[in-house]
Structure 1
């Protein structure tokens, strides 16, 4: 959310009730800012599951396959050494390294994908300029209505948020033309 209307709530329950009520009134571009995870916010906001697991699945399988193939090539094809009667291609011996390569590949690709999907780094946002918003990391709960929400009519939304129990209501970012 780059700009829009922000409302401060004192409790997570009040924020959750307000989100559900705003969604029932037609607002769709909502966001929540909380000092800790609040159970039920994702469902109330109508957020979908992250696509990260489906993005990572092929990379984890490729990492496991790559780890196994390197071991197979080195031990069975390139330099076969018979040790203690073990065959050159001993699949059980390859399991630990195969698993570790899968975990390593998934972790590295997952870090890059998560940073890209969350559009990080964002070092500054107009939301940070709203007076009192710094309490969102301490003990306050904030709801944001994005300015691009077609249902957002500022005076009506301010009245709705105040009626739903918001302590303060403020505009973040440049005013609409």
Structure 2
């Protein structure tokens, strides 16, 4: 499936979820994420916006669990990650997405696990974002990447370009998808 079509389908299906469904699914996804990141110390995490899988409570729970949490600030051509101690440190930024306006910058290579938003995905852990390539540019530096999505965002195999980064895992309310390693 072409990326533009996958992105459109995933966003439309996500938009059709009711608030009650999203709340229920968010709780299930958050519980799976907490298990998946239990041995990590530094977690990179997007700050959810619109109908994305919610990360607000997840970020708070990660901080309470003693994890260092880094969230992105959107710059014109890249994301910069800042360690935060609370969601109270965030202010509305680009497109109204909450982001840090100060603090300690951390390079993505220092982040144990990066939690990534997406608009659609396939069972091989290919993803579409929103078309700007922000995460595709930082994921090569990351030790591990996990996409958070609703099962309804899953689509047939997504056509990829050489610069598209495959995620290590994708967690939905129903499943955990794992990147397929090449056969040797």
TM norm structure 2: 0.26
Asked which structure has the greater RCO (Cα within 8 Å, sep 6+), the reply is 1
Q: Which has the higher strand share?
A: 2
The structure that has the greater radius of gyration is 1
